[in-house]
Amino acid sequence: MDLIVDVGNTFVKIAVFEDDNIIFCQKYSEVNASIIFEIKNKFDTKRGIISSVRNNEAEVSAILNKINISFYWLNHKMEFPFKINYKTPETLGLDRVSAVVGAMAMFPNSNLLIVDMGTCITSDFVDENLVYHGGSIAPGFEMRFKALHHFTQKLPQIKYENQLIKLIGDSTDNSILSGVYNGFKYEILGMISAYEQQYNDLKIVLTGGDYKLFDLEAKNRIFADDFLVLRGLQQILILNEKN
């Protein structure tokens, strides 16, 4: 069994895979060596991988020193199942890499657009010839509400709570909700449309904590997976264990 640890900007996800099946998955606020050690012993995992987008190298190193299994710390020097055509590969977010690998396992040899709606919105494109080209990074859903409040003196801090959003806001609060929600949604749809105009038979894969807030329609061409990054991490682990 494989132990997978994904340290994101907001949460830490820890999962255990048995072959391709996730048999355990839990979110935590912080990465913790004792929690990882407990899960490792409970499921008798034999190998693992950890990815972190935080500046916590010392913390991750301390954890790896305590985990007595074949454990990888995801880095840019590892082997990936695609060629990277990116001017600054050393700055490429490893969460983005993992999501791409997860999508490639779902749709091999396809033109793929991966959209991750987490703390930030990231889009990533890999073509049918297994070449990764890059994508985009934009403020995430919650970040937009915070920015409107932080960078103005009078706009309130608004929190979206799954309410119905009207196109035309009839109050300041509702205008902010309309602007952020509809702007976010149509930004994603516009991005998808632009890619579809350039690439044939494009597969779109969504992930991240906020994608469920939006009805992005056309379910036959847009796919979603809550565990895309975790699946990608496992695929990277398998690939590097073989080599």
Q: Mind telling me the catalytic residues? A: 95
Strands 120-126 and 131-139: antiparallel
Contact 3, 16 (CB under 8 A): yes
Tokens of 241: 């264990």
CA distance 103 to 44: 28
Tokens of 169: 């806001």
Q: Can you point out the beta strands (E) in 8-130?
A: 12-18, 21-28, 47-52, 70-73, 83-84, 112-117, 120-126
Contact 222, 192 (CB under 8 A): yes
Tokens of 34: 């004792």
DSSP at 226: T
Instruction: Print the SS3 string covering 133-146.
Output: EEEEEEECHHHHHH
Q: Name residues whose C-beta falls within 8 Å of residue 150's C-beta, 6 or more positions apart in sequence.
A: none
